[in-house]
Chains A and B, each alone.
Chain A
Amino acid sequence: MYRYDEFDHAFVSSRVEQFRDQVERRLSGELAEDAFKPLRLMNGVYLQLHAYMLRVAIPYGTLNSKQMRMLAHIARKYDRGYGHFTTRQNIQYNWPKLSDTPDILAELASVEMHALQTSGNCIRNVTADHFAGAAADEVADPRPYAEILRQWSSVHPEFSFLPRKFKIAVTGAERDRAAIQVHDIGLHLKKNDKGEIGFAVYVGGGQGRTPLIAKKINDFLPEQDLLSYITAIMRVYNLHGRRDNKYKARIKILVHETGVEELSRQVEEEFAHLQETELKLPEADVAAIAAYFAPPALPERSEGWAQLAGWKKQDEAFARWVNQNVQPHKHPDYGMVTISLKPIGGIPGDASDVQMDVIADLAEEFANDEIRISHEQNVIFPHVALADLEPLYRALTAHGLETANSNLITDIIACPGLDYCALANARSIPVAQEISTRFGAPERQAEIGELKIKISGCINACGHHHVGHIGLLGVEKKGAELYQITLGGSGDEHTSIGEIIGRGFEPSKVTDAIETIVDTYLGLRTGKEEKFLDAYRRVGPQPFKDALYGEAKAEAA
C-alpha cells in the first residue's frame, strides 16, 4: 500500500498543528463558532445530535493492521469503544470531545492517516473496488489511480471550494463493485485492443434527493491523460455548477441541465488546453505509485484445496461461511474474505475496539497485513490462503465476526439515521436490526439468495437506498417516522434507481412489508437461480404492489 513520503508527513503534521491552534483558540473564545465551523469541517469534525463526530479517511478503503490498531485505540481512548465504518469506506467516531480532536489527529498522523477532505465542498475520499488487487476479474488494480487522484486533489487550491462536494470512484473490473455510476465521476479501468490501460469516464451520477445515473462521456481515456481530463471536468463544473441553490449544486444537475453532449463538448474543449501540460502523467510516476500496490508474494498453498473440502464436510456453519463470504482470488490457492460487520440483529458497520484489534491481529497472521473496508460496510481480507480459512474462521467466531451473510438479505447498508445524525428524519439502525432479526435464520437467507437492502434516514441517501434491491427511505410525517419503499435499484454495472412502490409504512409495519415483498418474490421467481433483482426486472412492480396494498388499493396509490 501507499506509504507517506517526507512531504506527506510534513503536510499532515502541519495540518494537525494548525488545527490544534484553531481548537485552542475556539475553546478560549478567541475564535467564534461561525469562523471555526468551516475549519473543523475541513478536518472531519461534525456536530451531531449527541456529540461531535469525527470522520477519518481511509483512502480507497485500504489499510494495514497497524492502522486498524490505531482505529481501535482511538475508539477505546477517546470514544465509547467502537467505530462506525461508512458507505464511503471511511470510519466515524460518534463521541469525541472537541478538545481531544487535535490529539486524535496527531495519533492518526503517526500511522499515516488523517481526516482531511472528509467534509466540505471539495473532492472527497476517492473510493475503489474493495477487492482491488485480488479479484480474478480485474483488468488492473484501481488503487494506484485512486492514489494519484488523492494526491492531486488534496488541498487542490482550485478545487477546494467547489459548488458542492465531489465524489470519485474507480473500478478495475467489468463487474462494478464500487458503484461508479452513482458518483460525480466514475472511472472504469479497461484495456484497449493494443493492451493499453485507459478509463471509461462516467460523469454526473449521484443519489440524494435527485438520484441520477452517470453518463459515459469517454469510452477510453488513455492513462496518461487521467489528471488533465479530470481537471477539465472539474473546471467545467467549477465554472458552471450552480452555487445559488445547494440542492442543485452537484455536477449531476449540471449534466442534466446542460445535456451530456454539450457538457462533453465543454470538457473536450478544456481538455484540449490541458492535454499537453504538466498534468500529463509520466509513465515513470504511474509505475512508482503502482509499485506501492504490488501484490504480496503469495506462495503456492495448494494443500488448502483438500483441507477446505474436508473442513466444509465436517462443519456446516463453516461451509456456509466459505460459500457466502469467500470469493475467488486471482491466485487459485487463495480467497478474498468478507468479514461481515452485520451480525444478526446488530448495527450495520459498527465494530468494537476489541473487534478492530482482532481484525488487525488476524490480518497480520492470515492476510498479508492487508485490510479493506467495503462500501457495503464490511471488512475485507483480500489475500487469504484457502489453507488458512478454517483457523481464521475459528478466530472470527470467538469475536462475533463470523456472520455468513455477504450479499444476503441481512447484509444491510444503513446510515446512522436519527439515532445520531442531525440531518436525519427517521431512524435507520433499529429498522435494519429488526429486518435482520426477522430474516436471520441461515436457511431462510440462503433460500432467498442475493438481496440487497439499503436504508437511509433522510433524503440525502447516505444509506444508498436508491440503489438497494429493496430501498427504505425514512421520512417524518406528522411528527412520526414513516418508511417509503423502493424496489429494483442496483449499484453495479447495470445501475438502476429504485422505483417507489406506494405509500409508506409505519415503523411497526415495515418489516412485515419487507416480508410480503420477499414472499412475493419467492412465489413468482422462475427458480432459485432467478435472483430478486432479476425477477423484479422481469415482472415489474405490479405483483409487489398487489401484495402490499391489495389490487384496488394499489391503483388508488
Chain B
Amino acid sequence: MFANWPLLSLIIWLPIVAAVPTLLAGDKRPDSARWIALAATVLTFLLSLAILPNFDASSAAMQLQEKHLWISVLNVHYHLGVDGISVALVLLTTFTSVLVIVGAWGSIDEKVSQYMAAMLVLEGLMIGVFCAMDALVFYVFFEGMLIPMFILIGVWGGARRVYATLKFFIYTFFGSIFMLVGLIYLYFKAGSFDLATLAQVGLNAKEQMWLFFAFLIAFAVKVPMWPVHTWLPDAHVEAPTGGSVVLAAIMLKIGGYGFIRFSLPITPDASFEYAWVVIAMSLVAVVYVGYVALVQEDMKKLIAYSSIAHMGFVTLGIFISLALVRSQNNELAARLGMQGAMVQMISHGFISGAMFSCVGVLYDRLHTRMIRDYGGVVNVMPKFATMFVLFAMANCGLPGTSGFVGEFWVILAAFQTNPWIAALAAFTLIIGAAYTLWLVKRVIFGEVGNDKVAKLEDMNGRETFVLASFAAAVLLFGLWPKPLSDLMDAPIAHLVQQILVSKGA
C-alpha cells in the first residue's frame, strides 16, 4: 500500500495545508484548533510511518523520489527523495510534532489557533528540509522555517522574547545567506541545483575552500557550534515549551544534516583540509560549553548549553570520520564515527525534547525556570521525578539509554585518530554527568524547597503521555539501536566512499 502515493509531498504539505483550517478556527474556538492540529500531526506521523514498508534500507539510493519541473529556465526541480538518514530524521520530526501539539494542549491558552498553525507550518517545512534533493528547494525550506519560529518565540515567549527572537532570526539568516551565494556559484559551475549533480562537479582547492566556509557558517550557526552558539541559550530560554522542544529536537539537527548533505559531498577536500577547525570547535563546545552549563541557574539555559555540548559530538563524529577515512583509509572506523554522529542526533532529539518538556511541566505549575525555586520535587511529584531522572541519566550518556550509544561510538572512532581527542571528548561524559546530576539533585531531590513546591500536583494524563512516549524512544534506541543503525548504514557507507574520492580539478 502507499507505494504509488507521493508520500513525501503528502507529509510535507498536509501539515501546511492543515494550518489554514486551524487558523480559520480562530481564537474563539481554541478546542477545534487544537483538534485539527492534533489530527493533522497524527495523520502525518502515520503517513511517515508508511514510508518504512516502502523503503529499502539496504540501499543507499534516494528513494520514494518525486521530481517535477519547477523553474524550467533555471533547470530547478521540485525534487524530493529520502535515504536512511533522512527517513530517521523525518520520523523524529513527525513523532516530536505530535508530542509538541499534545504538550501545548494546556500550556498555551492565548491565540491558540495561531500557535497551532505556526507549529504545523513549521513541521511541514522541517520535513521538507530533510526530503529536498534540490539545493534551491532545500534552501527555501531551510529559510522558510525561520518565519514560523520567529513568530512562535516572539508571540508566546518569555520576558525577553523580542530580543531573543530577533537574535535567532538574524543569526540564522546571517549564516545561510552566504550559503546562498555559494549555491549560486555552484549553479554557475554545474548548471543545476540538483544535489547529486553538485556532488560531482569538479572544484579546485580555492573554490572548495570558499564554499566550505560558506557552508560552515550556515550550518555552524544552525547546529550551533561554538563560537556562534550564543543565540541558542537566549532562544531556548525565551521560547515557549513547544518552541524549545522543536528547536532542540529537530532544528539543530538540520545543521548536522547539512554537513553530511552539503559540506562533505560537495567540498570533500576542503572539508578534510579544514577538518581540524571543525574538530577544534567541536571540542571547545564539548568541554568549555559543558563547563558553562555547570554554572547556569536557569534550567532551560542549562539544558540549552548541554544541547550545544551534545551537538558538539555530532560535528566531532562527522569530521573525525572524515579524517579517519582520508588519512588512514580506515573505512570501518569512519563508518562507526559517522553512525555515532547520526545516532547521537536522533537520540539527542528525543532526550533534549524530553528535558524541555519536563521543564515545561514544572514551568506550567510555578511559572519559574530558576533552579533555586525548586527542590524536593520528588516528594510531591513522584511520577514526574521518575521521568526526569530517567532523562537526566540519558543526558549523561548512561548505558542502556540512547544517549550512550552515539557518544560511545564517536569516542571509539576518535580514539583511532588521536587518543587525546578521545580523552577530551570522553571528559565531557564526566562534566555532563556533573551538571545534569547536580540539576537533578537541586530540583528533584532533597527537602521540599518551599511552600509552592509543596503544593505541586503530579503530572496529568496528557503530560504523562508526552514524557512516556519520549521515554519509550530513549529506552528503545538505547537498548536496541540496531534498527536505527541498520536504517542509516547504507547511506553512511556510501557517503564514506564518496568522501574518499578527491574532486580537485
Do A and B interact?
Answer: no
